[in-house]
Amino acid sequence: MRSFMFILIALFSINAFAQPAYPSEKNLARHIRYLASDKMKGRGTGSEENVKAGKYVAKTFRKLGLTPLGTDGFFQDFTAKVRRVVVPDSLRPARNVIGFLDNGAENTVVIGAHFDHLGMGRQGSSKADKPEGQIHNGADDNASGVAGLLELARYFSQNKEKEAYNFLFIGFGAEELGLQGSRHFVNNPTLALAKINFMSNMDMIGRYDPGRGVGIGGFGTSDKWPEIFKDVKSDIKFFTDRAGSGGSDHGSFYAKQIPVLFFHTGGHDDYHKPGDDYEKINYKGEKGILVLQIQLIEKAMQLPKLQFTEVK
C-alpha cells in the first residue's frame, strides 16, 4: 500500500512537472485582488501605493528568475508630469519595472502592461461625478493587464523551453498621465530598440464578453500578422484592428516603428470610475485571452524577426 502511494505521488509529480506553466484563473485572481484592493488606493502615480504595486511586479519577476533590466535593478525611475493640474504638484516620481528572460537569442519579444491607475481621483481623467477622495481601484484598468503580464512571465520562464527569442517583460508607470512610462522606455531603452521583434500590450483584458469578443489591435503593423493569425484555434472570440497607435503603451513602440499587438476587452460603465472592481472581472475569459496570446506569440516566434509596416 505504501509503495503504491509512493508510485501515485511520483506519477503525479512527474505529470505536474511536465505540464507547461499555463496561466491559471487562481493566480490571475490573486494578482488582481491584491492590486485592485482598497488598501492599494488606486495606485495613483506618485503615491506610496503605486510604489507598492511596482514592488509587487518586481518581486514576482525576481521569484521567476528574470534578470533585472531597469536602471536600478528591476526599476527604471523617471519623473512624470501631470499636465491636467487637479492638485498643485505637477511633477511626480514614477517608474517602469523591467525583467529580462535571456534565451541566448539575438532578438527579443516585449510584453507589457501598465500598473498605475487614477489613485484617489485627484490626477484627472476620472469619469466619476465627484472623483476627489474616491478610490479608483482599476481592476480591469489595468490590474487585469498586470496579472496577464505576470502570468505570461511565469509561463515563458517556467515552461522548460528555450524559445527562439528572448523576452522583456515591462510593467509601465504613468500610463494614465499620457503613456509616459512607455515613452520614457523607448526614449531611454535598456535594450536596443533595433533588437525588438515586436511588442504585445495588455490594457483592460478583464471584461471579456463572449458576445463582443476581445479586440486585438496592431494587425496592420506587420505584413506577417495575417499569416500568424491564420488557423489560430481558440474558444475565445476575437476580432482584429489594423491600428498600431491609440489608447495605450503599444503606441510608444509603434511610433518607433516596432510591430505591435494590443489586447483589449472594451469599454464599460465602470471605466475610469470607482466601481472598476475585482468582483466584476471575467477570470475564465482572461485566462482564455492569455492562452490565445501565447499561441500567437509562439507562432510569431517560428518566423524571422518581423518587418514593420506603417498603418495608413
Q: Which residues bind Zn ion (CB under 5 A)?
A: 141-142, 203
Q: Least CB distance from residue 172 to Zn ion, whole Å?
A: 10
Q: Least CB distance from residue 272 to Zn ion, whole Å?
A: 9
For Zn ion, the closer of residues 68 and 145 by Cβ is 145
Task: Say if CB 89 and CB 46 are below 8 A apart.
Answer: yes
For Zn ion, the closer of residues 101 and 214 by Cβ is 214
For Zn ion, the closer of residues 142 and 200 by Cβ is 142
Q: Least CB distance from residue 92 to Zn ion, whole Å?
A: 17
Q: Least CB distance from residue 146 to Zn ion, whole Å?
A: 10
For Zn ion, the closer of residues 49 and 100 by Cβ is 49
Q: Least CB distance from residue 98 to Zn ion, whole Å?
A: 19
For Zn ion, the closer of residues 100 and 172 by Cβ is 172
